[in-house]
Amino acid sequence: MTVVARTKRFHYAWVIAAITFLVLLAAAGVRTAPQVLIKPLEQEFG
């Protein structure tokens, strides 16, 4: 009787979940970046 040793690897779903999280985080950053800059630009250029 042979015992097959399983290597501990991440399940593919965790990889997809991590990529999705990073993409959503980047999208939120890109979406809010102009709002942060509006006040300083408004003060600078009137």
Summarize pLDDT for 6-45 with one digit per residue, the tens: 777 879 999 999 999 999 999 999 999 888 888 888 999 9
The confidence band for 1, taking pLDDT boundaries of 50, 70 and 90, is low
Query: In the prediction, which pLDDT does 2 show?
Result: 74
Give the pair of three-digit tokens for residue 20.
Answer: 């999705």
Query: In the prediction, which pLDDT does 3 show?
Result: 73
Query: In the prediction, which pLDDT does 26 show?
Result: 97
| Four-residue CA torsion sign, 33, 38, 40, 41 | positive
One-letter amino acid for residue 37 of the chain: L
The pLDDT of residue 46 is above 70: yes
Query: In the prediction, which pLDDT does 35 show?
Result: 86
